[in-house]
Amino acid sequence: MDKLLDSFAKDLNAGYPGTAIFFGEPMSRHTTFRVGGAVSLLAEPKSIEAFVWAVRELRRLDLPWMVLGNGSNVLFSDGPHRLVVLGTSRLDTVRLSVDSMIPGAGVLLSRLGNAALEAGLTGLEFAHGIPGSLGGGIYMNAGAYGGEIKDVVESVTFLAPSGTLRTVSGADCGFSYRHSRFEDSGDVILSATLRLRPGDPAAIRARMDELSRARREKQPLNYPSAGSTFKRPAGDFAARLIEEAGLKGVSVGGAQVSEKHAGFIVNTGGATYDDIIALMDEVKTKVYLNSGVILEPEIRIVP
């Protein structure tokens, strides 16, 4: 595998200069949980063309790989990982028109919210405080405070497992609560067209400020985390069930059920993958025993 990795990295850099390439890179540096061991190779192509070449070549070489956005909804084990990670952070262009924008998969949702504000476009206020990227947001239909990515996606351009570039309408993305067709299809999201509406910049700013205040007041932003740890169960809230089970503030090693918001497991310092998984298991077990509800993880786990 090492010779194939060296050859892949050399060819990628030769064909597409400027690609960032890191061997043995710790994922703790690239995830908001600040947890995760080293992967064999992390590459961050700076164009869609380079990204497409990299995916096709990895498939041809039959090397294990995955795509990573901002790492805000991912938990890596402490490794090491015999894995190539393709980061989307450099797919960060944004094109604007009168009532839409076309961002690359790596653009942060917070940046899109600000770009929409500057252009006087409404519809992305809910995304202003979400720490993920566009690609990750589409992948899991990210949302907050009554808004979801599905509300604004007109189309998505992606690389299919066949190696062909395709575009699908938002209506055909299979969006549901924290889910899209891309979780099951093997497609790689590259960019999207978002349909917005002209709005009053003052009103847009006021709504964004309101949501920012709510996040600061309710969420444990002072500790590393991956956001909400569990999906919202039908007709209820994970945080309420966790608190009702007496788990608020419970710790395993450096991992803790947040004392501020029970829906978050946070890294209070030095948390390991095993700490977080053990705490998640304890939460699931005690919530089930207390309420009969089986909580499902919202975060993506890379063991």
Neighbours of 210 (CB within 10 A): 11
Per-residue model confidence (pLDDT) at position 1: 80
pTM equals 0.94
Q: Is residue 214 part of a domain?
A: no
Which residue among 177, 203, 229 closes a domain? 203
Same domain, 101 and 198: yes
Q: Is residue 74 part of a domain?
A: yes
Q: Is residue 53 part of a domain?
A: yes
What distance in Å separates the CA atoms of residue 187 and residue 207, rounded to the nearest whole number? 34
Which residue among 87, 120, 149 closes a domain? 87
Same domain, 45 and 129: no
Q: Is residue 199 part of a domain?
A: yes
Token duo for residue 283: 């939460």
Mean of the per-residue pLDDT values of the chain? 96
Which residues, 6+ apart, have CB-to-CB distance to 70 below 8 Å?
32, 89, 108, 131, 132, 133, 136
Same domain, 100 and 197: yes
Which of 77, 228, 232, 258 is flagged as catalytic?
228
Q: Which amino acid is at 204?
A: I
Which of 44, 125, 148, 298 is flagged as catalytic?
298
Same domain, 19 and 83: yes
Alpha-carbon dihedral angle through residues 74, 77, 78, 80, given to the nearest 10 degrees: -100
Q: Range of 236's domain?
A: 221-302
What H or E segment, with its residue span, contains residue 292?
A: none
For 121-166, the pLDDT digits (tens) are 999 999 988 999 999 999 999 999 999 999 999 999 999 999 999 9
For 88-130, the pLDDT digits (tens) are 999 999 999 889 999 999 999 999 999 999 999 999 999 988 9
Same domain, 13 and 36: yes
CA-closest candidate to residue 210, choices 303, 97, 113, 294: 113
Q: Is residue 281 part of a domain?
A: yes
Same domain, 138 and 106: yes
CATH number at residue 26: 3.30.43.10
Stated length of the chain? 303
**298 is an active site residue:** yes
Q: Is residue 13 part of a domain?
A: yes
Which of 77, 178, 191, 258 is flagged as catalytic?
178
The number of domains in the chain is: 3
Per-residue model confidence (pLDDT) at position 248: 98
**178 is an active site residue:** yes
